[in-house]
Structure 1
Amino acid sequence: MSTSAQASWRIFRGDGVARPATMPPAPPWRRFSPGGRTAGPLPYLVAPEHADIVNAALHLRRPLLVTGPAGTGKSSLARAVAHELILGELLRWPVNSRSSVQEALYQYDAIGRLRETTLSRDRGEAEPSIGTFIRLGPLGTALAPHGTPRALLVDEMDKGDVDLPNDLLTVFEEGVFDIPELARLPEEMADVEVLTADHRGSVTVHQGRVECTEFPVVVITSNGERDFPPAFLRRCIRLDLPMPDEERLRAIVAAHLGPEILPEVDDLLQAFLRRRAPGELATDQLLNAVFLRTNGVDLDADGLLDAVLHQLTGMV
């Protein structure tokens, strides 16, 4: 790389001199807009045999449990299904050790309601509707009645509490749940408008019960960090995504950055394959390296390729 080319790609130079930043175009997968990611979903390639498993889950109205090493596209699969089937914005429930089914169904701001009710009484105004203080969570929004089913990503289920899969059994089997705060209301308040998780509207809840008319498209991801109970597995269709082979990696690079770049990045692809072991490198790391190369970055510089293709496991 020439000296001028090196200077053009080095936005930060580490010399303590303040300069106006001119940011270059971002990679397609790192572009955002006020409403989220930019329009035009990223391409997602899946083998026909894996697409068949997705279709089996769709036909059976069962959750799809997707397992596989990091970087195999488990979460991206949910976005691809939502896009291809035109199911609207993907609902996302990122699971952690504190996650509960109740919070994924709905949240009730009792303190906020008490405060606003008191203020309204003091001003001689009508009390705000209880629905103003209830918002359905991602799971609750997915189960609410819609013209077409919603798509829900339950991300990294194995990071949740050990009882979380069992807590989901009834909800997944029945497709219904109750909001006790609404069920206790008098008959004349049987229908209440509550907010949804996507912040784009509301749904009507009758007598405190939310019941789906079409079971949502549910994609559950797992990194295989622990086993799930048989009762939970029985209610899921399982898809194990393998690491993509060389042919599929070439197809992924071509789909994201254009087939014309493949000849000039073959050495990066071979370096990726040599370094890769299950769980140690992810496909998007290869895309990162290819993007930098095609934008004139010298990846042979000291430590740069190692920084981009760093191992995902065994690091302190």
Structure 2
Amino acid sequence: MKFQGTGEYVATPELQMAVNAAITLQRPLLLKGEPGTGKTMLAEQLATSLGTDLIQWHIKSTTKAHQGLYEYDAVSRLRDSQLGVDGVNDISNYIVKGKLWEAFEADKPVVLLIDEIDKADIEFPNDLLLEIDKMEFFVYETQERIVAKHRPIILITSNNEKELPDAFLRRCFFHYIDFPDRETMKAIVDVHFPNIQAELVNDALEVFFDVRKVPGLKKKPSTSELVDWLKLLMADELGVELLRNHDTTKAIPPMAGALVKNEQDVHLLERLAFMSRRRG
């Protein structure tokens, strides 16, 4: 089965090619792109389109690679031994399976999402190289080898917070999700709001891309923020009028708190609006 997007996810031909190439090569698909461009949602929709399960491993700064395999809960075992709990001598009762173990023992190929891998320590990706290559790992406490029943489809996302090791990159199929152009963005909006007024979409996209073009913005508004903004405009039932008639002497568009997310960018837009008024 080839991935071609879904009714809820607009995938460009380049993204479709990347997903299908990674599946064919049996390589992890490493996705980069601006936050809010749908990297995580892609994994959800890929699992849906393939009719399989999604296993998500969300990475934090404190996450260690071995946690994806398993963890040995020595504290619980010590407590149970003090309380005389049955089964304390069976160490397997205190092995907590990680997300990779879940994916390896699944009865069908699943989609495994390793989300925001760049948040972890720099050695984190290298610590997973062998397991991802061989599709197996060893549990030292129980002396058993865990081998994948079916190779999972692995998607790895990164927001470029830090560089990933070359050895890890060599084992991945890489794709950078470009920010959607106006036509693709309109298609995305239509998926989220099938009955939205065409005038509202056109006016909102005009403002949205104008804001993104402002030089010096610390955080450009993303796709998810556009969706939130449109939801607010529609809920107010005055969306088109607000956009068309908003006071040009005001700094930023109406309800722009959904688009602009820090005070530096608000001040920048206010200064630009002030300069525009002076020129006017």
Q: After TM superposition, give the deviation of residue 313 of structure 1 in Å.
A: 10
Partner of 2:117: 157
| Equivalent-residue separation in structure 2 for 1:120 and 1:140 (angstroms) | 30
For 2:72 and 2:126, how far apart are their aligned partners in 1? Answer: 23
Partner of residue 257 from structure 1, selected from 193, 206, 217: 193
Normalised by the length of structure 2, the TM-score is 0.80
C-alpha displacement at 1:294, in angstroms?
Answer: 1.6
1:95 equivalenced with 2:95 (yes/no):
no
> Unpaired runs of 5+ in structure 2?
1-5, 267-280
2:138 aligns with 178
Amino acid at match of 1:95: I
Q: Return the offset for 1:112.
A: 1.0
Instruction: Name the structure where helix makes up a greater proportion of residues.
Output: 2
Question: Is contact 1:253-1:262 (8 Å) kept?
Answer: no
**Counterpart Cα distance in 1 of 2:191 and 2:171:** 34
The answer to whether the aligner puts 1:246 opposite 2:206 as a matched pair is: no
Amino acid at match of 1:91: I
TM-score (ref. length: structure 1): 0.71
The letter of the residue matching 1:62 is R
Listed as ranges, the matches of 1:1-316 within 5 Å are: 43-88=8-53, 90-120=54-84, 127=88, 129-142=90-103, 144-183=104-143, 208-277=144-213, 280-296=220-236, 298=238, 300=242, 304-311=254-261
Please state whether the residue corresponding to 1:56 is helix, strand or coil.
helix
Unaligned 5+ runs, structure 1: 1-40, 184-207
Shift of the 126–306 alpha-carbon distance from structure 1 to 2, 3 Å rule, reads: closer
Q: Is the 8 A contact 1:42 1:256 kept in 2?
A: no
Q: How far off is 1:147 after superposition?
A: 2.1
- 1:215 match: secondary structure: coil
Q: What code does the residue aligned with 1:69 have?
A: E
Q: How many residue pairs get matched?
A: 247
- CA distance in structure 2 between the partners assigned to 1:313 and 1:50 by the alignment: 34
Q: 1:52 to 1:162 in 2, by over 3 A?
A: same
SS of equivalent to 1:181: coil
Letter paired with 1:141: E
Distance 1:174 1:312 in 2: 45
